[in-house]
Structure 1
Amino acid sequence: MKNRLTVCASHLITLPSAPFGPVREAIADARETVREFDPELVVFFGTDHRRAFRTVVPTFAVVLSATAQGDVAGPVGSYDVPAALGRSLVADLVAHEFDIATAYEAALDHAFGHTARDLLGSISAKPVLPIFINCASPPHATFRRAASLGRRVGEFFADRRVLYVGSGGLAHDLPGFREPETGVVLSEPERQAWIKDVNERARREGTVRELVRAWDESFLAGIGGTSWEWLDSIGTDLVERGGNGAAECLTWTAAWAAGGRGLTTLAHEFDTSGRAVAITQSA
């Protein structure tokens, strides 16, 4: 297992508007660890903010060709995706009874782009195989199912030197994602105007959820070990306890299971925007 490194992190950590605190410092430490590890492949479990997947939203999908949308000051360009390897992974997952989708092309948003740039320097610095997990448009997978997917992916790549990445969460609530998903594709300016209106309405009506850090602490404790017992309880009343953004931690769960080791939390800031970085290197 010396050929596995797992890093899970919130996205948007290095935006100029983001706090200059422990999490920003931790992502720099994680980037140095990744550089020293020098993976031959990055398997990236990420989500989407209803940009790449709108009219059809798979629960899980392996992406065979990917570009970056550049939203929220994110990177642009193309990922170096090993398509043949992705096809082999899809075949293996289907053979092991995972109903996995194949995305032949996807324009991935900041859920992939920011974290890839933060950890690798650029989105094309290493071969990256993106695995999409739906976290924005309910119903979501269970945490146990995400872990099962991650474990099988880890088994498939057992003989390779792989960096597993999970990007998203922790507890935070996104009022714009409370509206029913319609599948209607908006332009980015239309989308931002709609989200702004929904957020302002939530503040006026007093429906902004006040979250507490207990969900974060429970989740970080779970991925800090190797037991799977916590997976069934962590998703109970998820929106009420962690906000609708907490589902992004399905990506962390898959990466944790792929790596097969408990994660060490390098930094955690509870500010209702779900900021944390966790990392482990197999001994």
Structure 2
Amino acid sequence: MTLDTPIPTSPARGARLTVCSSHAIPPPPGDPAWPVPPKPEIWAAWATARERIQAFAPELVVVFGTDHRRAFRAVIPSVAVALTATARGDRNGPVGTYPVAGDTARALAEHLSAHDVDIAVAHRVALDHGFGHSARDLLGGIDRHPIVPIFLNAASPPAPSFRRAAHIGELVGRFFDDRPERVLFVGTGGLTHHLPPYTLPDDGAERDEDERLALYARLSQALADPSLRFDDGWDREFLAGLGRRDRDWLQAAGTDVVRRAGNGANEAVCWVAAWAAGGQPLQVLAYRFDATTGAGNGAAVALSGWPASPLAA
């Protein structure tokens, strides 16, 4: 299915749709002085993706997201399924309680454990904008659909490799193969971007949001490297890989990610997991590279079709 293909009016039970999106923060209503550079093509792509999601009418949403050293502090799992969760509201994000499908989430965690994934489960975790922005921008809010949040560590090394993320995503997809729900898989996170504070090891400290923002502002200035510049090369290689069914590209795209695209590009493990869970190629709705933001910043929105079977062509 391409964007020119008519949208089916009644997607089959058991069908699946995959949508992946960067965090490109829109301005608050009526605030022309919002300091984030405008990304109108990304915002327009969100609108298109929302239309597809509404037409698909998911009965369950599985979100692969990361954290920005907020939710997991004393212990930082590599992979975690949230059994109950709230939205933290940072970075102009939503607040409230996610309608987590707890029984499904627990069964999925047991499925992953049975297939040799060292999985953690999380209760009452306050998820940050790594989940909240995409819930708002793609779903229209955090409470629109039953949800299963799956955390993949990206901000506090070691992050899962792209091949590991694909393996986890495939296992998640298999879990839903014999279930009747229409499932939306969402992958969140940035493409090329670099966060100077994250060049330091995670100290595990708890900080309120004001303390965190003040610290990161100081570190961003102190640790900035004017010679560090990225272009759109890695983004385009990565997005081209998501347009395929095979996994041959994962090793090359997943090697030296920090050197080629910045430490923030590790968040793309969430895209890989969602791509593998859906089992279909993704088509890019919009892509933007901003060379004026930091060392360079890439953002995109991509989605699949919805075959009646997860493995349909």
| 1:275 partner amino acid | A
SS at match of 2:23: coil
User: Residues 95-140 of structure 1, C-alpha deviation per residue, up to 9 Å, x if partnerless?
Assistant: 1111111112210001100110111111011001000000100011
Per the TM alignment, residue 209 of structure 1 is displaced from its structure 2 partner at its CA by 2.3
Number of residue pairs matched by the alignment = 281
Residue 273 in structure 1 maps to residue 297 in structure 2? yes
Q: Distance in 2 between the 1:56 and 1:208 partners?
A: 34
Which of 170, 189, 214 is 2:210 aligned to? 189
TM-score by length of 2: 0.87
Structure 1 window deviating more from structure 2 (105-114 vs 13-22): it is: 13-22
Per the TM alignment, residue 274 of structure 1 is displaced from its structure 2 partner at its CA by 2.7
Instruction: Structure 1: give runs of 5+ residues left out of the alignment.
Output: none
Q: Distance in 1 between the 2:273 and 2:227 partners?
A: 29
Tell me what 1:245 maps to: 264
Contact residue 23 and residue 276 of structure 1 kept, 8 A: yes
Instruction: Structure 2: give runs of 5+ residues left out of the alignment.
Output: 1-10, 29-35, 291-295, 308-313
Matches within 5 A, 1:152-231: 152-158=171-177, 159=179, 160-203=181-224, 206-207=225-226, 209-231=228-250
Q: Distance in 1 between the 2:301 and 2:118 partners?
A: 30
Which of 36, 39, 64 is 1:45 aligned to? 64
Per the TM alignment, residue 21 of structure 1 is displaced from its structure 2 partner at its CA by 2.0
TM-score by length of 1: 0.96
- Deviating above 4 A after TM superposition, structure 1's stretches of 4 or more consecutive aligned residues are none
SS at match of 2:26: coil
Tell me what 2:134 maps to: 115
Per the TM alignment, residue 281 of structure 1 is displaced from its structure 2 partner at its CA by 1.3
Q: Distance in 2 between the 1:243 and 1:41 partners?
A: 33
Contact residue 12 and residue 18 of structure 1 kept, 8 A: no
Tell me what 1:103 maps to: 122
Q: CA RMSD in A?
A: 1.4
Residue 257 in structure 1 maps to residue 276 in structure 2? yes
Per the TM alignment, residue 201 of structure 1 is displaced from its structure 2 partner at its CA by 1.4
**Sequence identity, in percent?**
51
Q: Distance in 2 between the 1:140 and 1:101 partners?
A: 15
Per the TM alignment, residue 18 of structure 1 is displaced from its structure 2 partner at its CA by 4.5
Matches within 5 A, 1:34-73: 34-73=53-92
Which of 135, 150, 173 is 2:169 aligned to? 150
